[in-house]
Chains A and B, each alone.
Chain A
Amino acid sequence: MNPEQGIVLDYALKGGDFDTAGEASSKIKRILQQIGVRSDVIRRIAISSYEAEMNVIIHAYSGVLKASIYPDRTELVIADEGPGIADIDLAMQEGYSTAPDHIREMGFGAGMGLPNMVRCSDEFSINSVAGEGTKISILIRHS
Chain B
Amino acid sequence: MSEYFHSVRLTPERCKGCVNCIKRCPTEAIRIRGGKAKITEARCIDCGECIRRCANRAKTAVTDSLDDLKDYKYNVALPAPALYSQFSADVPANVVLCALMHLGFDEVFEVALGAEIVSDATVEYLKRRDAKKPAISSACPAVVRLVQVKFPELIDNLIPLEAPVEVAARLVRSTRCRELGIAPEDIGVWFITPCPAKMTAFKQPLGAEKSSVTGAIGISQIYGELLKAVAVVPRDANCQRATARGVGWALSGGETSAAAAGNSMVIDEIHNVSEVLEQVALGKIKVDFIEALACSGGCIGGPLTVENRFVAEHRMHQRLAKMRAEDEAHGAAPAKYHPDSSLTEYDRTIEPRPIMRLDEDIFKAMYKVEQMEKTLNKLPGLDCGSCGSPNCKALAEDIVQGEAVETDCIFKLRERVRDLAQEMVGLAAKLPPSLEEREEN
Contacts and interface: CB of A to CB of B under 8 A. Distances in A.
A37 B363 CA distance: 11
A22 B366 contact: no
> Main SS of chain B's interface residues?
helix
Interface stretch (B120-128, B336-344, B350-358): B350-358
A34 B370 CA distance: 11
Contacts of A29: 281-282
Interface residues of B, number: 25
B360 interface: yes
B279 interface: yes
Contact of A39 (B278, B352, B370): B352
Contact of A35 (B152, B282, B283, B366): B366
B413 to A, nearest CB: 26
B354 A39 contact: yes
A51 B352 contact: no
B430 interface: no
A86 B284 CA distance: 26
A26 B367 CA distance: 20
Interface in B304-349: none
Contacts of B358: 34-36
Interface in A12-43: 22, 25-26, 29-31, 33-37, 39-40, 42-43
A1 B368 CA distance: 11
Interface in B272-316: 278-279, 281-284
Contacts of B153: 39-40, 42-43
A25 B282 contact: yes
A33 to B, nearest CB: 4
B66 interface: no
- Contact count band on A: 20 to 34
> Main SS of chain A's interface residues?
helix
B365 interface: yes
Contacts of B68: none
Given A22-B279, A26-B278, A39-B352, A34 B368 contact: yes
Interface in B77-125: none
Contact of A69 (B281, B283, B366): B366
Interface string A63-96: 0000001010000000000000000000000000
A126 interface: no
A37 B365 CA distance: 10
B356 A33 contact: yes
B384 interface: no
A71 B366 contact: yes
A71 to B, nearest CB: 5
A116 B283 contact: yes
Contacts of B408: none
Given A34-B357, A39-B153, A39-B352, A51 B283 contact: yes
Contacts of B363: 1, 71
Interface of B: 152-153, 155, 278-279, 281-284, 352, 354, 356-360, 362-363, 365-370, 372
Nearest 6 pairs between A and B by C-beta?
Answer: A33-B356, A47-B283, A39-B153, A36-B357, A43-B153, A39-B152
